[in-house]
Amino acid sequence: FAAGFARACEEVVSLDGKALRRAYEKGLAASPPLTVSAFAAETRLCLAAVSPDDGDNEVEAALKVIELIDLTGRMVTADALHCHKRMAKAITDGGGNYLLA
């Protein structure tokens, strides 16, 4: 596990949000309806995950995820929802590069 985690620290990081929609009825009140995660694709490890606070959205949660991981020298990818200056600045401030499409 430790070797895989060390490799994950050098990989491309993908940001993605997942919403639970009608996935199940039992326990729905106890689980967050949205989670944003930072995923190291090569090692298939989730590096960090955040659920937005009340009133926040996926963009705000993604910015919080960015703060939780070391981005130095890493490439961060994300979908079109994250194509904005705040995300680009957060990534470069953390020492990373980005590919937002």
Identify the structural domains of the chain with CATH numbers, from first to last: 2-100 (3.30.420.10)
Tell me, yes or no, if the pTM score tops 0.85: no
19 vs 85: CA distance, rounded Å: 24
9 vs 27: CA distance, rounded Å: 34
Task: Quote the pLDDT of residue 25.
Answer: 62
Task: Quote the pLDDT of residue 31.
Answer: 60
Task: Quote the pLDDT of residue 29.
Answer: 64
List Cβ neighbours of 54 (8 Å cut-off, separation of 6 or more).
none
Q: Which residues of the chain have pLDDT under 70?
A: 1-9, 21-32
Task: Quote the pLDDT of residue 56.
Answer: 84
Q: Contact, 96 vs 71, CB < 8 A?
A: yes
4 vs 69: CA distance, rounded Å: 16
List Cβ neighbours of 60 (8 Å cut-off, separation of 6 or more).
52, 53
